[in-house]
């Protein structure tokens, strides 16, 4: 009888064969094939790694999680990477790290303020609200779609403790100014890097400037693990807090399945616990369990090999679309990269100008009718969503600086189309042709 290793080899060979049969290359038939805004970019390797991890049947965090954390941290050049269940849980963990009692005066307490934007993704903001901190919303700029740094000083109060914002659709925000503002006022900076893996600012990857940064591996993102995310952190003390919060709040840092990494498991002394109480069961924070599983990480390890290609293709696709649409700037605002940045774009943002003879809704309908998938810039204006009804009606729980004019304009006039590597030139050209066709018909 074959041994386990031989069988594993055969199964993996069969998996490779299965991939070829089950996922043949999709030909593009204009007007019949759906042109998605994003999607999984994978081949037989992802399937093989996934099956390989399933044959280990370790299930919880193990060798693949360890490897993915190491690879990501090496890629971004950060001191630590902690895998999570999603980008949203990474945001939750990053934010809650800053609430740890042990941070003393600098910790974020309920009632403290966190500067952010309303033209963003909800889970960049929800951890603050859930905890009882107060998000302070400032406007964004168009066409960078990033935080308007001229409003930072106006947003500041004696209660401000942090800035938590995303690099919108992969376009780095003005890290130089935001970082300097945080330093000047001793504020924490959390970069929501969920849409920007591989973007650089002033020669360094985004996700490495803030005290903490987050990433999402949901299928539409640059790389995927199905559901999944990560927190990046350089400061070892913050890392210890994030790790504890991610892993039930425990004080012990042993990986799953390991004991006594500290070498003094039964020798610790905590004032209220019996002397030598098992360190594995000592809790220093009110934590969660937000660990990634082994099978998700296995897919991530295969995706890491493709990441440089993915980033390059996203940049090329963005450039291609922009070149094709340059002639329509009288009616469309096209996206601009933040100065000093080289974005690893998540999507191609388009704002329909006020003087256009058509609305965003009109052109979006036209594109969707032609099987071109479109997306809104997340929440548009987050404050106008039903989740804010209670707070808005009671006039509490958040603060707004200025009139959020651009945020409202984004809600009404902005949409985006895909740039993911699954879009080849024929699909990209089809998308831009349908946009040109519509504008030209409308202006006749």
Ligand X SMILES: Cc1ncc(COP(=O)(O)O)c(C=O)c1O
For the bound state, the minimum distance from the C-beta of residue 193 to ligand X, rounded and expressed in Å, comes to 8
| 28 is a contact residue toward ligand X (CB under 6 A) | no
For the bound state, the minimum distance from the C-beta of residue 229 to ligand X, rounded and expressed in Å, comes to 5
> How is 103-132 classified by DSSP, letter by letter?
GGGGS--TT-EEEEESSS-HHHHHHHHHHT
- Near ligand X by CB under 6 A: residue from 87, 287, 343, 422: 87
**10 Å Cβ neighbour count for 441?**
10
| 86 is a contact residue toward ligand X (CB under 6 A) | yes
Query: Which one, 94 or 325, has the nearer CB to ligand X?
Result: 94
| 374 is a contact residue toward ligand X (CB under 6 A) | no
Which two tokens mark 269? 């002394």
Does residue 281 contact residue 28 with C-beta atoms inside 8 Å? no
> Residue by residue, what is the 3-state secondary structure of 193-220?
CCCCCCCEECCEECCCCCCEEEEECCCC
For the bound state, the minimum distance from the C-beta of residue 331 to ligand X, rounded and expressed in Å, comes to 27
Where in the sequence numbering do the catalytic residues fall? 221
CA dihedral 113, 117, 122, 125 (to 10 degrees): -10
Q: Give the Cα separation of 413 and 406 in Å (integer).
A: 10
For the bound state, the minimum distance from the C-beta of residue 395 to ligand X, rounded and expressed in Å, comes to 27
Judged by CB under 6 A, the chain residues 318 through 347 that form the site for ligand X are none
Which two tokens mark 169? 């659709």
Task: Quote the DSSP letter at residue 140.
Answer: B
| 195 is a contact residue toward ligand X (CB under 6 A) | yes
| 416 is a contact residue toward ligand X (CB under 6 A) | no
| 192 is a contact residue toward ligand X (CB under 6 A) | yes
Which two tokens mark 370? 């032609």
For the bound state, the minimum distance from the C-beta of residue 184 to ligand X, rounded and expressed in Å, comes to 26
- Near ligand X by CB under 6 A: residue from 229, 343, 380, 418: 229
Query: Which one, 37 or 64, has the nearer CB to ligand X?
Result: 37
**Region from 23-31, 86-94, 242-250, 399-407 binding ligand X, contact rule CB under 6 A:** 86-94
Does residue 108 contact residue 161 with C-beta atoms inside 8 Å? yes
| 199 is a contact residue toward ligand X (CB under 6 A) | no
| 48 is a contact residue toward ligand X (CB under 6 A) | no
> How is 271-333 classified by DSSP, letter by letter?
TTSPTT--GGG-BSS---B-PPPHHHHHHHHHHHHHHHHHHHHHHHHHHHHHHHHGGGTTTEE
- Near ligand X by CB under 6 A: residue from 83, 93, 194, 238: 194
What x/- string results for residues 98 through 137 when contact with ligand X is judged by CB under 6 A? -----------------------x-xx-------------
Q: Give the Cα separation of 216 and 243 in Å (integer).
A: 17
Q: Give the Cα separation of 68 and 302 in Å (integer).
A: 9
| 147 is a contact residue toward ligand X (CB under 6 A) | no
| 209 is a contact residue toward ligand X (CB under 6 A) | no
**Region from 14-22, 82-90, 265-273, 333-341 binding ligand X, contact rule CB under 6 A:** 82-90
| 206 is a contact residue toward ligand X (CB under 6 A) | no
Query: Which one, 166 or 301, has the nearer CB to ligand X?
Result: 166
| 248 is a contact residue toward ligand X (CB under 6 A) | no
Does residue 325 contact residue 432 with C-beta atoms inside 8 Å? yes
Question: Residue 137's beta-bridge partner residues?
Answer: 116, 400
Element spanning 390, H or E: helix 389-394
For the bound state, the minimum distance from the C-beta of residue 155 to ligand X, rounded and expressed in Å, comes to 20
| 191 is a contact residue toward ligand X (CB under 6 A) | no
Point out which residues bind ligand X (CB under 6 A): 86-88, 91, 121, 123-124, 166, 192, 194-195, 216, 218, 229
């Amino acid at each position: 009888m074959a041994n386990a290793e031989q069988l594993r080899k055969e199964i993996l060979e069969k998996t490779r064969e299965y991939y070829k049969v089950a996922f043949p290359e999709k030909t593009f038939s204009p007007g019949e094939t759906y042109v998605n805004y994003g999607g999984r970019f994978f081949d037989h390797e992802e399937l093989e790694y996934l099956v390989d991890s399933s044959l280990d049947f370790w299930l919880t965090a193990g060798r693949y999680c360890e490897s993915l954390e190491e690879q990501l941290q090496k890629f971004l050049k950060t001191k630590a990477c902690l895998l999570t269940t999603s980008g949203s849980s990474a945001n939750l963990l990053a934010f809650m790290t800053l609430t740890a009692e042990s941070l003393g005066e600098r910790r974020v307490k309920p009632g403290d303020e966190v500067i952010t934007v309303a033209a963003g993704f909800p889970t960049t903001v929800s951890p603050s609200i859930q905890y009882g901190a107060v998000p302070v919303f400032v406007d964004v700029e168009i066409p960078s779609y990033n935080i308007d740094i001229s409003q930072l000083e106006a947003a500041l109060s004696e209660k401000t403790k942090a800035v938590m914002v995303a690099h919108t659709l992969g376009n780095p925000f003005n890290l130089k100014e935001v970082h300097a503002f945080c330093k000047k006022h001793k504020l924490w900076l959390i970069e929501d890097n969920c849409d920007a893996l591989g973007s650089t600012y002033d020669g360094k990857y985004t996700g490495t400037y803030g005290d903490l940064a987050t990433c999402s591996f949901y299928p539409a993102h640059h790389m995927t693990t199905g559901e999944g995310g990560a927190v990046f952190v350089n400061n070892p003390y913050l890392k210890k807090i994030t790790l504890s919060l991610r892993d039930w709040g425990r004080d012990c840092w042993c990986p799953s399945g390991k004991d006594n990494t500290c070498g003094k498991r039964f020798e610790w002394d905590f004032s209220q616990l019996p002397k030598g109480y098992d360190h594995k069961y000592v809790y220093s924070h009110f934590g969660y369990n937000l660990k990634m599983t082994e099978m998700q990480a296995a897919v991530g390890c295969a995706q890491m090999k493709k990441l440089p290609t993915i980033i390059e293709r996203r940049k090329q696709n963005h450039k291609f679309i922009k070149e094709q649409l340059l002639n329509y700037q009288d009616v469309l605002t096209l996206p601009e990269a933040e100065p000093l940045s080289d974005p690893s774009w998540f999507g191609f943002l388009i704002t329909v100008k006020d003087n256009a003879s058509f609305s965003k809704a009109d052109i979006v309908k036209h594109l969707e009718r032609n099987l071109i998938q479109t997306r809104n810039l997340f929440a548009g204006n987050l404050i106008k969503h039903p989740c804010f009804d209670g707070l808005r009606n009671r006039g509490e729980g958040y603060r707004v600086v200025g009139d959020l004019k651009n945020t409202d304009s984004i809600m009404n006039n902005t949409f985006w189309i895909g740039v993911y590597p699954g879009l080849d030139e024929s699909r990209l050209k089809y998308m831009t042709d349908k946009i040109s066709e519509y504008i030209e018909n409308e202006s006749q």
